Copies of this chain bind each other. A is one copy, B any other.
Amino acid sequence: MDFSEQDSVAAVRSSLASTPDPRLREVLDSLVEHLHEWLRDVRPSLAEWERGIEFLTAVGQKCDEHRQEFILLSDVLGASMLVETMEAARQSADATASTVLGPFHVVEAPERELGADISPSSDGDPCLVRGRVLAADGTPVAGAQLDVWQANARGAYDVQDDGQPLGNGRGLFTTDEAGWFWFRTVVPSHYPIPTDGPVGELLRATARHPYRPAHIHFLVQAAGHVPLTTHVFVADSPYIDQDAVFAVKRSLIREFEPVDDAELAERHGLANPFRCATFDITVQPVGS
């Protein structure tokens, strides 16, 4: 029988019927249904479909070891945040909210001592970031690993910026016996997601701004606990209410407060005055 608009989903699903992995079959059966529904809804012309193919091809070809344009596309379509949100819904309400990984987790962060400066090549407002990693019952988690990355005060990550060596704005820390972590940095700036690729074209074609509010990324791993991907957002940042990738959660916003304390500044090797953010992170046990 000829392929028809009415039977298109059944025809393709029938070709998938011998898929050995039941989860893969479930994902693809549903993909075919929703993909064909979309196509029947918008009825693209052949020229429009070719344009779509060209766009996706360009997205793939923009990717390299330091650039992940498909994550960016997923981010601006809200897909990344929807997946994050559904994953978080499986977790206990006690855990710190998770948010998108984003496209800049592409360089191995250098291991650093607690208190180290993660942004030695950056100018900007000096800043102390500190907090504890806690279990759901409030017990401190010693030996938790924090992978941290951020843009500088001009809104650029190391991989985007000839002025920053790779690893600037990044650090890998291990919490102390009392679950504490702390590091020096500069207050990050809000920034545009990269707009020199096809996702930038899409934002321009839809009259969307490309900005994300200022934030620091955290990926937290602790033995016996579920890994947590999150951000801390700078409370007074522009775009805090209109993140281009939909990733702000109110519970992740912190004041980066001005501190004028010469003794504390000297103890941490910071110029006085400085700014300080405190961000406790609650992880949840595996299998909870």
Residues of chain A at the chain B interface (Cβ within 8 Å): 2-5, 8-9, 11-12, 15-16, 18-21, 24-28, 30-46, 48-49, 53, 56-61, 63, 68, 70-71, 74, 77-87, 89, 97, 101, 205-208, 229, 242, 244, 246-251
> Is the CB–CB distance between B40 and A82 below 8 Å?
yes
Given the known interface contacts A3-B85, A12-B77, the answer about A57 and B63 at a Cβ–Cβ threshold of 8 Å is yes
Interface centre among A2, A40, A208, A249 (most CB of B within 10 A): A2
In the bound complex, how far is the Cα of B56 from the Cα of A82, in angstroms? 18
A250 is contacted by which of B2, B30, B36 (Cβ under 8 Å)? Answer: B2
User: Per DSSP, are chain A's interface residues mostly helix, strand or loop, or mixed?
Assistant: helix
A85 is contacted by which of B5, B60, B89, B208 (Cβ under 8 Å)? Answer: B5
Measured CB to CB, the nearest residue on chain B to A1 is B250
Q: Which residues of the other chain, B, contact A12 by a CB distance below 8 angstroms? A: 77-78, 246
How many Å from the CB of A89 to the closest CB on chain B?
7
> Is the CB–CB distance between B249 and A2 below 8 Å?
yes
In the bound complex, how far is the Cα of B24 from the Cα of A13, in angstroms? 29
Interface centre among A78, A80, A87 (most CB of B within 10 A): A78
Q: Which residues of the other chain, B, contact A250 by a CB distance below 8 angstroms? A: 2
> Is the CB–CB distance between B83 and A46 below 8 Å?
yes
A205 is contacted by which of B21, B59, B60 (Cβ under 8 Å)? Answer: B21
Q: Which residues of the other chain, B, contact A80 by a CB distance below 8 angstroms? A: 49
Interface centre among A9, A16, A251 (most CB of B within 10 A): A16
A82 is contacted by which of B5, B24, B247 (Cβ under 8 Å)? Answer: B5
Given the known interface contacts A60-B59, A78-B8, A79-B35, the answer about A87 and B206 at a Cβ–Cβ threshold of 8 Å is no
> Is the CB–CB distance between B86 and A246 below 8 Å?
no
Given the known interface contacts A3-B246, A3-B249, the answer about A44 and B83 at a Cβ–Cβ threshold of 8 Å is yes
> Is the CB–CB distance between B83 and A49 below 8 Å?
yes
> Is the CB–CB distance between B206 and A43 below 8 Å?
no
A8 is contacted by which of B31, B33, B81 (Cβ under 8 Å)? Answer: B81
A208 is contacted by which of B16, B59, B247 (Cβ under 8 Å)? Answer: B16
In the bound complex, how far is the Cα of B24 from the Cα of A98, in angstroms? 32
A42 is contacted by which of B27, B59, B208 (Cβ under 8 Å)? Answer: B27
Q: Which residues of the other chain, B, contact A87 by a CB distance below 8 angstroms? A: 45-46
